[in-house]
Amino acid sequence: MPVVQLLGTPAIFLDEKQVKTSRVKTSALLYYLAYQSDWVSRDDLVYLFWPDTDENKARANLRQLLRSLKKLPYLEQLQITPKQICWRVATDVLELQQCLEQQETSRLVELYQGHLLENFRADSIPEFSSWLAIERQSLFAKFHDTVSKCAIEFEANGRYDKAIQLLEHLHSLEPYDEAIFRRYLKILGQSGNAAQAQQVFKVFQTKLQLELSLEPDPATLDLLQHLQSMTNQGSLRNPKKGPLALPVPATPFIGREIDLAIASQKLSDPGCRLLTLVAPGGMGKTRLAIELGKKLAPSFADGTYFIALESVPLADLIAPVIAETLDLPLSGQKSPKQEVCDYLANKELLLILDNLEHLTYDLKLIPELLALAPNLKLLCTSREILNLQAEWLYDLQGLKVPEDDLDLEVTEVDAVKLFLQRAEKFNGSFAPTERALISAANICRKLGGMPLALELAASWLRLLSLEDIEQELNDSMALLKTSVSDMPKRHLDITSVFEASWSRLNSHEQASLRKLSVFESGFTREAAWEVTRTGLPLLLLLINKSFIRMDASKRFNAHPLIWHFLRQKAKEHKEEQLVAKEMHAIYFLNFAEDRKGFHERSNVQEIRTELNLELANIRHAWEFATAFLREDLLALGNLTLFQHFLMQARYEEGADFFKQASESLKSNSLTHARVLHNHATLLSFSGEPGIAKPLLEHSLALIRKHNATWAIGQTLLGLALTYSKLDYLTNQEQAKLFREAASYFHAADDEMLQGRAQIHQAEYSISAHERESLFKEALEMLRRQSGYHELIHALLSYANHLLFTHGDFKQASIFAEEGVTIERKRGVVFNLAIRLTDLGTIYRYGGAYEKAHNCFLEVLSLGNQVATSRLSYAHQQLAVISLLAGNLEDAKRQLDEAVIMKNGENTMFLALSYNVAGLLAMKQGDGRNARENSENAYHYFSSIKGLKLENAWHKELVVANYADSLLVNHSLVDAKKYLHEALVLTLEWGFQTALLHLLPSFAKLRLLQQNPEEARSLVSICLNNPAAMAETREKAKVLFLTLPEALQEVNTTPLSLDQVAQSLLI
């Protein structure tokens, strides 16, 4: 097996020996395919390697290059299709990506010995070079971020050797990146290696001057000066710890390793003189500041002091409080501020100023202290930023919470660890069960990891169970208070914590926050303005005051407890809140309306992401419109939302979304009818067609009254699909209903949905000629309209028709491959799985077993993003492919997986599993089980009233296999009966391929009836007709070899298929 080295100097190894490639373009293509490790379209490769060449010539160049590659002995795994190429091979990049996820630092350093394709020159391939530059930067950024994070963790835990190793490696990769270099120098100094740091600096400075003619940045020179002064004082090798005047907390410090490391790194930076820990009340600012003071104390020769300012009413009193803490007697001859500044002027000291938020109106003392005392550093805690020039900020968030209930290490997550520790303190016999731990995790998530809230909730364990606390918190936050006597007064009640911050806002700021509380899952800058008229300046102010926060995607949100507090405030202003809710509903339902038809746009994935991100807000808007029976609002976006739920197979969720409006509206309006349609159709798809049917019929009756042509067509289409799930109509009736829907779409000039309805009509049409006509007309319409979703459905359905009816495997594959290619670009994973199973099935029937195998493996690789029934079907087909290859053990394993994964509500897939089990039993020579399983499959398909194209095909195969199982058991009369039934079905649908598939079974029957001449004639037709499936020909070949030798050599003119069919019907 080959191995490709992509990091550093690239190379390909086979059996640990390097393989040479002669041409740059050949190497570039192989490296690109190895890096992608997935299917790559030929279009992408043509653009990448021949962007300025005529397209036909570029494609010819690619074909020639691929032909040369196929000759290479180490490219056996290279897969080439008419549309795509794939080379799944072991690479160091794949291993690196796994290590990045698992943060395996030692292996990371071993692997990343150079950048992606370092020293590989491809100047003659400019587009490839551009791609390489982007990927190289992206991969290094991921490596850099992970290694930096790990270095911070090692530093926080005092493992300087590990941190130095990582930063040294980063520096070797990016020798001129001074930000990396400064971190490397600083940690060398912190670990007592200041002399080595200075030596490393000299090497760096010399290299910078010689190679780039540059001098180090001022920040780097400042850091060097700091290290030199520390070395001269001996403080790094033998730190002299000054006075430590810090409070002693009553509880242990839990978690915050990353916060501690990052904040200490900032404070250790020579450029940082003032660091403010900013967060809402109760987030643990004071506790973190104390720990930072302990950690950094050895760096401050004159001490670390904690200044509690909570009870200081005026900014003028800060200086006297500092003097008191420092044991500095004030003479009275100068102002307290001046005496404190004079005293600190030559001191190397850390002051922790705790709870500054109420004094931010006048903080002149802080800049003066920093100006007069060059070795002084200030660590402040505040609910608001201080708005000072020297200020560095660190936004403190809640403790880490479990991502979900399946987190096996839930007790090791910081928030849960703190909660359980406090719980044990309040209830000595506390021993949580597995269910209780789930409640603990839910509580931590609900409280957003806020340490104070977790402690207040835990205090109730003397009276309530964890499950009870969780339930109480679902209803209100009244539990978040305590009577513990030695807890700071400001922390006795979570509401009081927020009230203190609220009271410092002016009326305009308070009103904005109340209105912003209408948002459900965060909001964008645009939404804030349109709904509440809150602009950027006010948003920034509210961020600075720790009420809201902004994430990396520029989306605004707030801590869950702050949201709760703000919503309680909003309830006190009912009229204001009603207006805000109406504006919110108008904005988000128009947001949905603007994305109508998104599933047919080229940027469907981007829009789907937007809708998912705003779905909670849209749901809230819909609920408002429903509650007030605002049909003007309910008319907006309902088609977008219907398609959103439908396209992602979120049927139950979608049905619930529309349910209340469907039941509340009584107006019999067109909007009412459309909401009914949406609710009912999604109910039908969720497995409740019986409940959906009367609702759809009611919707149709309402829509007919309004003479809404397009809406009638839509409802007829939904009703027809529901009837098909109920098996309510015959084929003719089903096709007629789809035809009627198509006629309404035609009248409404909607070619896209007309095409969709015609595709469904074709699938229920027994006439092969009519199917052909409907498919071609629908495809032409859908190509004109660029209706991607409908076009893909049409391509795959038409491919099935070509295969089943004509045995045209080549054309069927081309259409199916086109559908899959479009679906890949759309990025809809759920739908991609459906298309891949269709394509894989076509490949299988055409004898392209390796391609089929890859399709079904890809479906399985999509995992829980795919319907269980599709996974089951993929396993079934893999079982058949193994069966055809004679690998019965693997076939049995795949079949077992298929049965385990079967969808209990989808009996068709279960029936197909029985069918495959029958085939396996026949191969194993187990006639009884073959008959039993095949009979189970037959009974399901025999119960279907209206057969769809694909189901008719499956039924024919199932009936034929059942007949084969009867032949194995020598039940000739019954076998003839069921072969005759399959033949009638095949002729009725015009399935030429299926007819050929029946001939070996009829031939076997003739042999058992002692009629070898007719058996030979039937087998010969299969062997010589190109429309026969590969497995049909193989079956016929095996049977042919059992004929007497004399018959094998006889040459006769074979009858036509029609003649043979008519003779078999007699």
Where in the chain are the domains?
2-136, 244-395, 410-482, 496-561, 991-1066
Q: Give me the amino acid identity at 1047.
A: L
Please name every residue paired with 378 in a beta bridge, in sequence order, or none if there are none: 274, 351
How many other C-beta atoms are found inside a 10 Å radius of the C-beta of residue 233?
14
Beta carbons of 604 and 826 less than 8 angstroms apart: yes
**Is 306 in a helix, a strand, or coil?**
strand
**Structure tokens of 244?**
């430590």
Structure confidence at residue 269 (pLDDT): 82
Long-range contacts, stretch 542-547, CB < 8 angstroms, 24+ apart: 542/509, 542/512, 542/513, 542/516, 544/278, 544/384, 544/385, 544/387, 545/383, 545/384, 545/501, 545/504, 545/505, 545/509, 546/278, 546/279, 546/280, 546/383, 546/384, 546/501, 547/280, 547/501, 547/513
Backbone angles phi, psi at 542, to 5 degrees: -70, -30
Strand order across the beta sheet in which 78-80 lies: 40-41, 84-87, 78-80
| Residue found by looking up tokens 């660190």 in the block | 394
> From the CB of residue 1058, how many other CB atoms can be counted at a distance below 10 Å?
11
Residue type, 315: A
Q: In angstroms, rounded to a whole number, what is the distance separating the alpha carbons of residues 487 and 568?
A: 25
Q: pLDDT value at position 903?
A: 46
**Whole-number Å distance between alpha carbons of 190 and 185:** 9
Q: Residue 100, Cβ neighbours under 10 Å: how many? A: 18
Grouping H, G, I as helix, E, B as strand and the rest as coil, residue 304 is: strand
Q: How far apart are CA 1003 and CA 976, in angstroms?
A: 11
Amino acid making up residue 606: E
User: Which residue shows structure tokens 């992509």?
Assistant: 6
Residue 751, both tokens: 């070619």
| The pLDDT of residue 238 | 38
pLDDT at 600: 64
Chain CA centroid to CA 929, Å: 43
Q: pLDDT under 70 in the chain at which residues? A: 22, 156-158, 229-242, 404-408, 428-429, 482-492, 599-603, 786-787, 864, 900-906, 945-946, 1046-1055
Secondary structure of residue 234 in the 3-state scheme: coil
Read off the pLDDT of residues 623-633 as tens digits, 9 standing for 90 and up.
Answer: 999 999 999 99
What tokens were used for 640? 């977008």
pLDDT of residue 230: 56
**Burial of residue 602 (number of CB atoms within 10 Å: 0-12, 13-18, 19+):** exposed
Q: Is 722 exposed, middle or buried (0-12, 13-18, 19+ CB in 10 A)?
A: buried
In contact, 682 and 718? CB cutoff 8 Å: no
Beta bridge partners of 18: 13
Nearest to 377 by CA among 272, 241, 306: 272
Which helix or strand (DSSP H or E) is residue 890 part of? helix 888-901
Dihedral Cα 62, 64, 69, 71, nearest 10 deg: 160
User: If you ran DSSP here, which 8-state letter would residue 398 be given?
Assistant: P
Backbone angles phi, psi at 827, to 5 degrees: 75, 20
Give which of 429, 367, 825 is closest to 601, Cα–Cα.
Answer: 825
Task: Report the C-alpha gap between 123 and 126 in whole angstroms.
Answer: 6
Virtual torsion, Cα 164, 170, 176, 180, nearest 10 deg: -60
- CATH homologous superfamily of 244-395: P-loop containing nucleotide triphosphate hydrolases (3.40.50.300)
Which residue, 994, 1011, 1013, is CA-closest to 1061?
994
Count of other CB atoms within 10 angstroms of residue 964: 24
Instruction: Tell me what pLDDT residue 237 has.
Output: 37
Structure tokens at 518: 């209408």
Transcribe 523-557 into DSSP letters: B-HHHHHHHH---HHHHHHHHHTTS-EE-TTS-EE
Helical spans, DSSP H, in 326-375: 336-344, 365-372
Beta strand pairing call for 274-278 and 391-395: parallel
Nearest-CA neighbor of 928 among 917, 941, 939? 917
Contacts 24+ apart (CB under 8 A), 692-695: 692/722, 693/719, 693/722, 693/723, 693/726, 693/728, 695/662
pTM score, whole prediction: 0.63
d(CA 342, CA 327): 14
Structure tokens at 997: 């598939």
Q: How far lies 204's CA from each of 197, 350, 890, in Å?
A: 10, 32, 60
Compute CA 745 distance to the chain's CA centroid, rounded to the nearest angstrom.
36
Burial class (CB in 10 A: 0-12, 13-18, 19+), 193: buried
Please give the Cα distance from 423 to 431 (Å, whole number). 10
Residue 993 tokens, joined: 């391929």
> What pLDDT score was predicted for residue 906?
55
Contact status, residue 511 vs residue 547, Cβ threshold 8 Å: no
Task: Please tell me the distance from the alpha carbon of residue 27 to that of residue 20, in angstroms, as a whole number.
Answer: 9
